[in-house]
Amino acid sequence: MFGTYDRPDQRNMLDRTKQGVIGKPLDRPEGHLKVAGQATYAAEYQRPDCAEGVLVGATISKGRVTAIHRDKVMAMPGVLGVYAAQAMLRRAAQGTAGQAPAQDVQQVDFPLQPVALVVAETFEQATAAAKALQIDYDDQSADAVFVPSREMAEPATEPTEAGDIDDAMTQAKHVVDHIYTTPGHSSTAMEPHASIAEWDGDKLTLWGSFQMLKYNIKELADSLGIASSKVRILSNYVGGGFGSKLGISHDAVSAAVAARELGRPVRVVLTRQQVFQIIMRRSETEQRVRLGADADGRLIALGHEAWVSNLPDEAFAEPVTQATEFLYAGENRRLAIELSQICRVTAGSVRAPGEAVGMQVLESAMDELACQMQIDPIELRKCNIPSVVPGDGTQYSSRKLVEALDQGAKAFGWDKRKPNPCMRREGEWWIGMGMASAARVNILMAAQARVTMRADGSLLVQSDQTDIGTGSYAILGQIAAEMLGQPIDRTEVELGDSSLPHGAGSGGSWGASSTGSAVFRACEAIRGVLAGRLKCRPDDLHLQDGMAWAEGIAPRPVTDLLDGDIAKIGLIKPGKTSKNYQQATYGAFFVEVAVNAFTGETRLRRMTGAFGIGRVLNEKTARSQCLGGMVWGIGSALTEELAFDNRDGHLVNHDLAEYHVPVHRDIPKMEVIFVEERDGVASPLQAKGVGELGICGAAGAVANAIYNACGVRLRDFPMTPDKLLADLPDPFTAAS
């Protein structure tokens, strides 16, 4: 099929072009606007006569709305309307257009689920009225289950089984068999979910904060019962998403419903508390890991079983074992995920769904095995790198795990690590080092982009691709400038408008490589036109700084070849390269911690990450993605934890004062190394995804460093001082 990516592209096209901007650590073109507060985010648009909406959450955990007493609040100052249409009660979608289950008008599935929208002239009036709104319920909370349990869990997918793991565990010379737990996490992006809806006849324009516009217009259209051609979404700047904006949320639908009824624009902005309470969480997990190794450390048994949760009727189950499927050897395997249905806010994709928590646990268990065997943890990993995917024999695309382990270890100074705990003490502090592998699946998504070379040679790149803080504006411009030989300041990038050709959207780390491949292909088409006019083969065409030439054809301004704009749409779709290869990014983390011998406080001292992500498209934005991921890993290791009240399922720590993400003071010197790599199987850019890799295993490296420092092996994340304190060695008598 046209555009399908079936054959690996090994031409190294972007190594042969001359402009020299690809991969360079160029600034984001929108960076100045952002730091100067001039980039307009969804809630900041000024629309004439815009009314303000505030969502009202259910005060029961489960049940039905039986009456909404509108009259009293309608009489309050400035109040314009109270809306409770079916669509507004819909749970946040997960980026699955048309597949969100139809939901009962008045059904409440979790605490504080939005059940009404109050609209007023001002935000304050709407807030006051929302607080005063009386709602009657048929409260069925007594029947609800609030705590996940293994007993009620059902298989979420077909387990992966090979050989006989129980038998292999009894045969193995060295075994690890432990239960680990990770808590729920919240994305809680810096920009809260926000929407402004405005109708022009039957056409809706919505300024919002989303990751995947081509799906989001369908979701919104489905919710409103209109055609998606009637919906336009604008998301020019998105202040983070991390999965929470893959799908639409209550703000978008309720703003659209109210604006249609009122005949004027309506803005709905979630409070920080609402972002926590009603936007999806990462499921807590319970994970059993079984490792059985022979005398040389080769795995003969590998078990990874996980128990996760979601609301009834929600199919998403945190894919905890995703990387375990292909990362390490072990002929006897059992990998499984089971799902409990519980009454807590919807669980969904949060940065690196699966690997984020799966790798942190797998890599903790690998460290336990290495320590037990008294071998270097890096060596244990290296001797378990399979040649083909265990079980199904699939080939790997490019895989730079060994290189990442080696280069990371060297840069970090891993050779200075003490082999056993409690061997390094500085004053009150135990010092330790730990490492972990990183792995994350790589995905190519269908994408389109339009590139225009204008008559003056300048370039315009257009797609509905979003930039969620990841660098899309910079990267897509660099690809076009490189391919078409123009300076970056002659390259303009327009994104985040659903009326433009549909990019891949931002999710699953695929944005830059997928939409970038569409830009690449549009540029190839333009190069084809230019080569025809210059009378050379496209691959022989050289373009640089506005000049065009080829072997035997003297340089001339590219504008000589132009009699108007050349506009081409580039298209890419996943094909045989996606089916026939196991594609992933790999890396390694190295961490040095100090654990206070008296208080159990852990402080990060240094962290190094080495990553193989295929071609690096922009060294600065790629590095920032890795740093961000590593910071998430530190949060996951030490501080982040959603706390639910087991009596009624409500989220207790629903703000950034109580849900602890790391702050600048928590983050030490960080180093990111990119391993040289080209992966032509992954994309014609030979690039892979990078956004999520930096979190996948990072918390395991922290856990392993803590063990190396003080000998405490915690299997319950996050590793807060209270948990460490219980097992710390006597600070006065332990060997130093």
Element (H, E) at 671: strand 669-674
Identity at 388, one-letter amino acid code: V
- Provide the angle, in degrees to the nearest 10, between the axes of the packed helices 472-484 and 619-638: 150
Element (H, E) at 461: strand 459-462
Identity at 437, one-letter amino acid code: S
Minimum distance from residue 692 beta carbon to ligand MOS (Å): 7
Minimum distance from residue 212 beta carbon to ligand MOS (Å): 8
Residue with the CB atom nearest ligand MOS in the bound state? 243
Minimum distance from residue 245 beta carbon to ligand MOS (Å): 8
DSSP-assigned beta bridge partners for residue 436 = 589
Residue 438 to residue 501: CA distance in whole angstroms? 34
Q: Compare residues 570 and 689 and give the one whose CB is closer to ligand MOS.
A: 689
Q: Compare residues 242 and 586 and give the one whose CB is closer to ligand MOS.
A: 242
Confirm if 254 and 56 have CB atoms less than 8 A apart.
no
Minimum distance from residue 538 beta carbon to ligand MOS (Å): 35
Q: Compare residues 193 and 417 and give the one whose CB is closer to ligand MOS.
A: 193
Residue 206 to residue 209: CA distance in whole angstroms? 10
Q: Compare residues 436 and 443 and give the one whose CB is closer to ligand MOS.
A: 443
Minimum distance from residue 347 beta carbon to ligand MOS (Å): 12
Active-site residue identified among 52, 355, 524, 692:
692
End-to-end Cα distance, the chain = 66
Confirm if 473 and 482 have CB atoms less than 8 A apart.
no
Minimum distance from residue 77 beta carbon to ligand MOS (Å): 41
Confirm if 351 and 187 have CB atoms less than 8 A apart.
yes
Minimum distance from residue 352 beta carbon to ligand MOS (Å): 7
SS3 content of the chain, % helix, strand, coil (to 5): 30, 25, 45
- Cβ atoms within 10 Å, residue 12: 12
Judged by the rule CB under 6 A, the positions of this chain that interact with ligand MOS are 211, 241-243, 246, 349-351, 353, 507-508
Q: Compare residues 241 and 292 and give the one whose CB is closer to ligand MOS.
A: 241
Minimum distance from residue 638 beta carbon to ligand MOS (Å): 21
Residue 97 CB partners (closer than 8 Å, separation 6+):
215, 216, 218, 219, 222
Q: Compare residues 22 and 350 and give the one whose CB is closer to ligand MOS.
A: 350
CA distances to 131, 242, 655 from 652, in Å: 19, 22, 9
Confirm if 411 and 671 have CB atoms less than 8 A apart.
yes
User: What is the 8-class DSSP label of residue 1?
Assistant: -
Q: Compare residues 351 and 521 and give the one whose CB is closer to ligand MOS.
A: 351
* The 107-108 sheet, strands edge to edge: 107-108, 63-69, 134-139
Q: Compare residues 19 and 509 and give the one whose CB is closer to ligand MOS.
A: 509
User: Could you give phi then psi for residue 612, rounded to 5 degrees?
Assistant: -110, 110
- Nearest-5° Cα angle at 519, 514 to 520: 90
Confirm if 245 and 351 have CB atoms less than 8 A apart.
no
Minimal CA–CA distance to 181: which of 727, 668, 723? 723
Residue 692 is a catalytic residue: yes
Q: Which residues are part of the catalytic machinery?
A: 692
